[in-house]
Amino acid sequence: MNARIVLAGLTAVLIILSSASVAQNKYVGVKMCSMCHKTEKQGKQFDIWKGSKHAGAYAALATEAANKIAKDKGLKAAAVEAKECLECHTLAATVDAKLFDQGFDLKEGVQCETCHGPGSAYKTITIMKDKAKAQAAGLRFYTDDAAIEGLCKTCHNETSPTFKSFNFKESWAKIKHTVPKAG
């Protein structure tokens, strides 16, 4: 048998196994992420999130204004229970509840893992210190503004009943959370 074929087959099996294990990662929640991502060295990423509207996205659904919007849209459920609202205000409508680790709290709104993927396999410091290992374990990075903007627009778009406009550069400036370069 040709060594290249065997190698290609093994590579395909590893990719499938890797994809399957990443697909089964669990969402650990912002409290787990905050343990490391609130320091100066990490760019105070947790504080940036905590001060954003993303952190209060779920809470916004528990208001009378949100319930009026849901009712006006013809939804039968309260905003905090409506799939149409939850799919952008938390992961409740788009993720199987079995994938939420016990520390994950939907009420924390749009959390780190909404954009970066479920963190159970990459949450340890050992893995996070190695970008390649973290990515292999399921951590999603975004290398260009177009990819980030596309992700943002999955919720910030004309289908939202409160949509007025979306200026990516202005919005991204409010929540950008890069790790400072070591100097």
Q: What is the mean pLDDT of residues 158-175?
A: 94
Q: What is the DSSP string of 7-57?
A: HHHHHHHHHHHHHHHHHT--B--HHHHHTTTTSTTTTTHHHHHHTSTTTTH
pLDDT over 70 at 9, yes or no: no
Angle at 165 between CA 159 and CA 167, to 5 degrees: 120
Q: CA torsion, points 124, 128, 52, 29, in degrees to nearest 10?
A: -30
**Segment among 15-19, 88-92, 133-137, 164-168 with least mean pLDDT:** 15-19
Q: What is the extent of the structural domain holding 86?
A: 26-120+142-175
Give the tens place of pLDDT for each residue, 121-164: 999 999 999 999 999 999 999 989 999 999 999 999 999 999 99
Is the pLDDT at 1 greater than 60, yes or no?
no
Say if residue 42's pLDDT is above 50.
Answer: yes
Residue 95 has pLDDT above 80, yes or no: yes
Percent of the chain at pLDDT > 90 equals 80
Determine contact, residues 94/88, Cβ cutoff 8 Å: no
Whether residue 37 is contained in a domain is answered as yes
Say what the pLDDT of residue 86 is.
96
Q: How many domains does the chain have?
A: 1
Helix, strand, coil % in the chain, rounded to nearest 5: 50, 0, 50
What pLDDT does residue 24 have? 85
Q: pLDDT at position 15, please?
A: 40
Task: Establish if 85 belongs to a structural domain.
Answer: yes
Confidence check: pLDDT of 16 > 60? no
- Of the listed ranges 13-22, 47-56, 67-76, the least confidently predicted one is 13-22
In a domain, 10, yes or no: no
Cα angle for residues 58, 116, 59 (degrees, 5° grid): 5
Confidence of residue 182 (pLDDT cuts 50, 70, 90): confident
Predicted pLDDT at 22 = 57
| Alpha-carbon gap, residue 32 to 13, rounded angstroms | 31
21 within some domain:
no
